[in-house]
Amino acid sequence: MSDDKSDETVELVHYRVENAIGTITLDSSSNRNALSRRLLTGLFDALTAASSDESRVVVIRSADRVFCSGADLSEAASGGMEEGTKALVELQRQILTHPKPVVVRLAGPVRAGGLGIVASADVAICSDDVTFAFTEARLGLAPAVISLTVLPRMTSRGAYDTFLTGRGFDAAEAASMGLVTRSVPADRLDAEIGQVCSDLMEAHPQGIAETKALLARDLLDRIERHGYDMCSLSARLFASDGARESMTRFLERRK
């Protein structure tokens, strides 16, 4: 099989179940796991499969160090983002309403839209060398769609600081602001994920499902009330001249 992730035959999201843990692996290294249409479709399919199989916990991770670089700017620069923004809203909803606990394992950088996955998850564990950034403002955009789940997780001061500046921040700061559950030394990450999964499997599946629904109620209400407006805002900004110029410059620098 070709290593070129632009090849439509290459699987960008892998899913396997072992020891009652369903592991979803993002594997689009050519664009640093950007949220392309194909990657999002693969994520939806894997989460759907996990909802009715023998798994009891779902772990989302990356194949390489980078967890997610945000929106696929090559797709955004070449066409409208109306469907993409709607898909990201639905992905957050699917994670929040999933009948099984969803754990995110972060071993590398997370940027922009990828933080919507982190914020939607029930538990997010990262190694202490992971970096984060809401880079949207630097591209003439705003973290509109992911704000649906990110803002309720973070402190207000932390959100103002990181959203407006677009600066990078480390794992300790992400944990202190509530964006992740906790950070651990890199060599302890897998052991910590294993312990989290073990702890979650101590609970009865019905108890997990009903408790998840209770915890997610306010987040889902926020999606229902503001999802359409955030999609519209995001699509408008992606289509603006300022954002298109910024995205084009960014893609040219990356080449």
For residue 59, the cross-strand partners are 23, 103
Mean pLDDT, rounded, of the chain: 94
Residue 169's pLDDT band (cuts 50, 70, 90): very high
**Mean predicted confidence (pLDDT) in 160-170:** 98
pLDDT digits (tens, 9 = 90+) for 107-140: 999 999 999 999 999 999 999 999 999 999 999 9
What is the reported pLDDT for 81?
80
Of 248, 250, 252, nearest to 77 (Cα)? 248
**Mean predicted confidence (pLDDT) in 25-38:** 95
- Taking the C-alpha atoms of residue 231 and residue 244, their distance in angstroms, rounded to an integer, is 17
pLDDT digits (tens, 9 = 90+) for 189-248: 999 999 999 999 999 999 999 999 999 999 999 999 999 999 999 999 999 999 999 988
Assess contact for 147 and 125: CB atoms under 8 A: no
- The distance in angstroms from the start CA to the end CA of the chain is 25
What is the reported pLDDT for 80?
65
pLDDT at residue 2 is higher than 50 = no
pLDDT at residue 168 is higher than 80 = yes
**33 Ramachandran zone, left/alpha/beta (phi>0; psi -120 to 50):** left
Spell out where 27-172 has E strands: 57-62, 102-106, 110-111, 123-127, 131-133, 168-170
What is the reported pLDDT for 251?
82
**Mean predicted confidence (pLDDT) in 182-192:** 98
Residue 169 C-beta-side C-alpha neighbours within 13 Å: 23
Total-model pTM = 0.94
Which residue ranges form the domains of the chain, and what is each CATH number?
13-188+205-254 (3.90.226.10)
